[in-house]
Amino acid sequence: MSLLQDAAGPVLEHAARPEGDASIFVSLHRWLIPEAFADQVPTWFVALGGIGIGLGLLIGLISVTVMFCVWLERKVSGHIQCRTGPMYAGGWHGWAQSIADGVKLLTKEDTVPKDADRTMFWIAPAIVLASIFGALAAMPISYDWWFGRMDLGVFAILALSSTTTIGVVMAGWASNSKWSLYGAMREAAQVVAYEIPLGLSLLAPLFALGTFSLGEASALQSGWFGMKWAIFTNPFLLPAFLIYAIAALAETKRAPFDLPEAESELVAGFMTEYSGIRWSFFFFEEYAAMLLMSIVGAFFWFGGFESPVTGALRSAGVEESSLLFGFVCFGTVMLKGLFGIFLMMWLRWTLPRVRIDQVMTMGYKYLTPLALVCVLGAACWEALVHALFS
């Protein structure tokens, strides 16, 4: 019996995924090979080809999303400050401004400080980027499509996303600059302080749903015509989500917790000595991490793939394995993720930066104890509901 069934008992039929389902890495490549030649193609070739196609799709999807988010940040900040933001590059509201910036960064000189540790200086942005792509690979696209199917999906995401700190610390140390080193040390201290409430706040919906898998968590919230979201079923999940949102801001180095960069104090923090495409890798990771944290929050609090649209499709008899249902699932979770990113941008251009001692105090003294209370309350609530209605 699956973890989903052990933890939650009987659920809707679509919650159980067949064991033979294939990931995008394998499925797309099988489509490209005619069935008549399938036996003649080596297994390793199919695996490597599928992985290559899947990675290409993942990188392309995240790259387009990041470029859109950069454009959106400029428009949001502009309107908050009574400006229009980009208006000319590409035509309609400057939609091509991010593309122009990418071309500019690709052609800029890649400088390395004279006394820097060149090897670590070059590797640091690659570690940051590889970590966030590894974490994003655990994100399902629909119930039948994913990049890397993981029963411990949220565990893998937290483990891989936290390794971006290694790249940041390497960048600060290798730059041989006091501003870079200060920023790196702030990042290390901030992540240590906020990884704890971030993980603890996620335990609350894990108790309520009984699974680490993002896809299974979404399937468990499919009742009430697609609106049986976890946040509506347990009173302790709302404060847990607020703690998660605050910790996610600190984890992604977003204002008001952007102390590792802090332009008014540290020039550009750990990125001070970087230029060109390597500099852009750090910003790429930041926006990708915002998307990742928003999507994880959507899966464990706000239904994941589920919405009234998916409820209507099921009522109309549309199969979950159909292409239409898959596109709706993907569009639903992406819209929820982009809305989370919009809220992060709104907060950045609204709230002032807090001091580093205030950041540490909030993480250790307030968020961690409150997260523990939410976990205990969510567990007791689930035990009470189970005792009353089982």
For residues 252 and 290, is the Cβ–Cβ distance under 8 A? yes
27: burial class by Cβ within 10 Å (0-12, 13-18, 19+)?
middle
Specify if 8 maps to a domain.
no
Q: Is the dihedral of CA 304, 310, 315, 316 positive or negative?
A: negative
208: in domain: yes
Handedness of CA 33, 39, 40, 44 (dihedral sign): positive
Domain-located, residue 110: no
Residue 356 pLDDT > 90: no
- Within-domain flag for 244: yes
Domain count, the chain: 1
At residue 19, the pLDDT reads 38
pLDDT digits (tens, 9 = 90+) for 36-90: 555 676 777 777 777 788 788 889 999 999 999 999 999 999 999 999 999 998 8
Digit-coded pLDDT (tens) for 103-161: 999 998 888 888 889 999 999 999 999 999 999 988 898 898 888 778 888 999 999 98
Burial class (CB in 10 A: 0-12, 13-18, 19+), 208: buried
Range of the domain at 222: 116-389
| 39 located within any domain | no
Point out the least confidently predicted range of 18-22, 170-174, 188-192, 339-343.
18-22
In a domain? residue 31: no
Contacts of 324 (CB under 8 A, 6+ apart): 313, 318
Domain-embedded: residue 379: yes
The answer to whether position 331 is within a domain reads yes
Q: What confidence category does residue 32 fall into, taking pLDDT thresholds of 50, 70 and 90?
A: low
CA pair distance 314, 330, nearest whole angstrom = 16
